[in-house]
Amino acid sequence: MKSLCIFLGANPGNDEKYAEAARNMGRELAKRKITTIYGGSDMGLMGILAESALEAGGKVIGVIPDSLVKKNVSHPNLTELHVTESMHERKALMAELSDGFIAMPGGIGTMDEIFEIFTWAQLGFHNKPCGLLNIDGYYDKLLDFLGSVVEEGFLKGVHKDMLLTASSPAGIIDSFAGYEPPVVSKWVEKAKVEIRKQQ
């Protein structure tokens, strides 16, 4: 694995444990000589991740839309900074540059990013691993909700399980090794849907 994309909060969160996790992730990526791909900001957990990876001798590539560069939130000292015209172009480039995707604690931006790339995985548009770094149970409620999405028949269990989880940076990176996506269609067979319509 040469590069991993990390989605994470542009805010630091209310507890030092999140900053600590971002620092550990940066160091872990650098130690393993894995290039960090991320949103290119110097703010919150994003900035902490980039700093720690760079300080530990790692390569960090930021991908940021021009609209955010104009708001003065881009990191000034990255190995590379790609500036895109739109958020869509940005996400597509992050996807292309990365061998896997990890969401650390974050807000709506982080969820949007991991769910989009997880959707693409479920549809078989790519075969790269996706995971949640579940620091101190941060994502437990989301995982419970995904369990009920399975129970209600909107998501298959095998697809839910494509979203790997671990509680430490080393754990989530290790879980990506040898990842094989399931070869199961997202959709209920058309024949079964027809039967239900007739009932």
C-beta of 11: minimal distance to ligand AMP in Å? 5
C-beta of 195: minimal distance to ligand AMP in Å? 42
Which residue, 68 or 156, has its beta carbon nearer to ligand AMP? Answer: 68
- Which DSSP category does 170 fall into? H
C-beta of 181: minimal distance to ligand AMP in Å? 23
Rounded Cα distance, 188 and 79, in Å: 45
Q: How far is CA 135 from CA 15, 154, 166, in A?
A: 11, 27, 8
Which residue, 9 or 100, has its beta carbon nearer to ligand AMP? Answer: 9
Burial pattern 38-73, b for ≥16 Cβ within 10 A else e, equals bbbbbbbbbbbbbbbbbeeebbbbbbbbeebbeeeb
C-beta of 178: minimal distance to ligand AMP in Å? 26
C-beta of 71: minimal distance to ligand AMP in Å? 7
Which residue, 73 or 149, has its beta carbon nearer to ligand AMP? Answer: 73
Which residue, 131 or 156, has its beta carbon nearer to ligand AMP? Answer: 131
Task: Give the nearest residue (CB) to ligand AMP.
Answer: 109
Rounded Cα distance, 93 and 189, in Å: 33
- Which DSSP category does 123 fall into? T
Which residue, 39 or 169, has its beta carbon nearer to ligand AMP? Answer: 39
Binding site for ligand AMP (CB under 6 A): 7-11, 39-41, 43, 46, 64, 68, 73, 106-110, 113
The count of other CB atoms within 10 Å of the CB of residue 86 is 11
